[in-house]
Amino acid sequence: MGEDKGCIVVKFGGGSLSGGERFAKAIDAVVKKAKEGVGLVVVVSAMGRTTDELIEVATKASGSRPSPRELDDLLSMGERTSARIFATALKAKGMRACYLDPADQEWPIITDENFGNARPLLSLCLERIQRTMAPLLKDGVIPVVPGFLGRSQKGAITTLGRGGSDTTAFIVARALKAKQIILVTNVKGIMTADPKIIKNPRKIERIDAETLAGLADSDVKFIHKKALKYKDPSVDIKIVEWEAGSLDAEGTIIRGSLPKDLRVEADYEEPLMAITIVGRGLENSPEVLRRVLEELKRAGVASLGMSSNSNSIILYLPEKVPEGLLEALHNVVLENPDKAIALAVKKGLSLIRIKGMGLEDTPGVIGRLAKPLQENSINISGMLTITSSILVFLDWGERERALGLIRDSLKQNNGEVLGEERYEV
């Protein structure tokens, strides 16, 4: 069935399985979809707060936190129990189902031995998934897979870290060329803001994976960025709420994928300037910043980057700005003598942007890009980090030389940063 028509991979999060009522809704939703003749693979998390509770009990019982290897073996019981219950319940409803277990010889999610945050060995995973699950789907069997879990090549059970169950679902979908991934969660979809903080946020109907990854830098974790790295660009994700009780419920659709490679590029084709307003206690004077932004808006100029601290506000703008803007910004200084002291302008700058989803997970990237510039007497006028980008401002005349040095430096790290080798996607 699945090999010819494709399949749907459904992942149930822990909140959607916390208790008998929610489990029953999940089972019924899968049964209903299966009866439509759709091939299904089910990926399950541990029930409710099982993982946290297992850690707490194990730590209290032993007087200390178990070793990472022991903890992974212990934590695996949460997902393994969910998978057994789910498969048993499907059979009781007349479905043909089986659960896969990390102890099985043909367990498909193979990882390194970084216990607690293991990295899937993607080529091995894809081959094993195709070998073990495709025949089951073809025979009309629903495989039930405990998410979050892996096994090392030496046979030790591992866990995939935060977002691990999503990672499992994305890799399975990639291997089986699934038509869709459905994530069943506690929410109706991805919202315009955290409903715990903002009243009446709206559901986002569609969002691309790269935009979603930018939200992952906040405290709201819809899908972990690490998991999104394994998403196939051709497979859409749909997020639905468990309470709907249907896999056809409306939710948020996530399309596209994250860029594989780190990109190093000159981001602006004309010289830039840095405008610095110095003062005292500027962090306690929102009026100064408000007036600066008002003048930029009035002039129709967007800042390419901005930083601020208690003693300064720095704006990076194109050199060619409307006449009168610099005078207007200077007037802001004159209007606020208690907070602002002076304005300075430095022209002839260029902007190099280093962009890639692995930046925030890779220690030392800033040091590696800065070192060759220092060794070649190229001064960095400013540096900003924004989500998964690093912005480097330096002399316009050094732009091409700096581009080459940064690219060479990052490529010399044997794939540590470049996505293809690091993430194997």
Each residue's pLDDT tens digit, 196-212: 788 888 999 999 988 88
What would you measure as the largest C-alpha separation in the chain, in angstroms? 79
Structural domain harbouring 37: 2-255
Token pair 């992952």 is at which residue?
216
Domain end, chosen from 229, 255, 281, is at 255
- In this structure, are residues 251 and 207 in contact, taking their beta carbons and an 8 Å threshold? no
Q: Is the pLDDT of residue 374 over 80?
A: yes
Token pair recorded at residue 243:
């309470």
Residue 2 pLDDT > 60, yes or no?
Answer: no
State the Cα–Cα distance between residues 181 and 173, nearest whole angstrom: 7
Give the residue, 162 or 345, on which the prediction is more confident.
Answer: 345
271 & 245 share domain:
no
For the cut 50, the answer to whether the pLDDT of residue 333 exceeds it is yes
* Mean pLDDT, the chain, integer: 88
Q: Are residues 279 and 415 in the same domain?
A: yes
Same domain, 155 and 106: yes
43: domain CATH number is 3.40.1160.10
Specify the number of domains making up the chain.
2
pLDDT in tens, 95-111: 999 999 999 999 999 99
Distance CA(176)–CA(137), nearest Å, equals 10
The alpha helices in 199-281, defined as continuous H runs, are 209-215, 225-228
Three-state DSSP state, 91? helix
CA distance 5 to 264: 40
Q: Residue 74's CB: how many other CB atoms inside 10 A?
A: 17
Query: pLDDT at residue 5 above 60?
Result: no
Domain boundary pick from 234, 255, 276 = 255
Half-sphere exposure of 246 (CA within 13 A, CB side): 6
Most confident of 2-16, 85-99, 193-207: 85-99
In the chain, the N- to C-terminal Cα span, in Å, equals 27
Sheet holding 180-185, edge to edge: 97-99, 142-146, 39-44, 7-12, 180-185, 236-241, 252-255, 206-208
Query: Within 13 Å, how many C-alpha atoms sit on residue 69's CB side?
Result: 6
- Specify whether 200 is located in the same domain as 309: no
Residues 59 and 189 in one domain: yes
Distance CA 247, CA 183 (A): 9
Same-domain status, 186 and 303: no
Say yes or no: 293 and 417 in one domain. Answer: yes
Task: Place 71 in a pLDDT band, splitting at 50, 70 and 90.
Answer: very high
212-256 pLDDT per residue, tens: 877 765 545 578 878 888 999 999 999 999 999 999 999 999 999
* Residues 33 and 147 grouped into a single domain: yes
53 and 69, same structural domain?
A: yes
Answer for the pair 28, 245: CB distance below 8 angstroms, yes or no: yes
State mean pLDDT over 27-48.
96
Last residue of a domain, one of 255, 272, 293: 255
Same domain, 222 and 369: no
| CATH code for the domain of 402 | 3.30.2130.10
If asked whether residues 315 and 370 sit together in one domain, one would say: yes
pLDDT tens digits, one per residue of 143-191: 999 999 999 999 999 999 988 999 999 999 999 999 999 999 988 898 8
Whether 232 and 304 map to the same domain: the answer is no
Q: What percent of the chain has pLDDT over 70?
A: 92
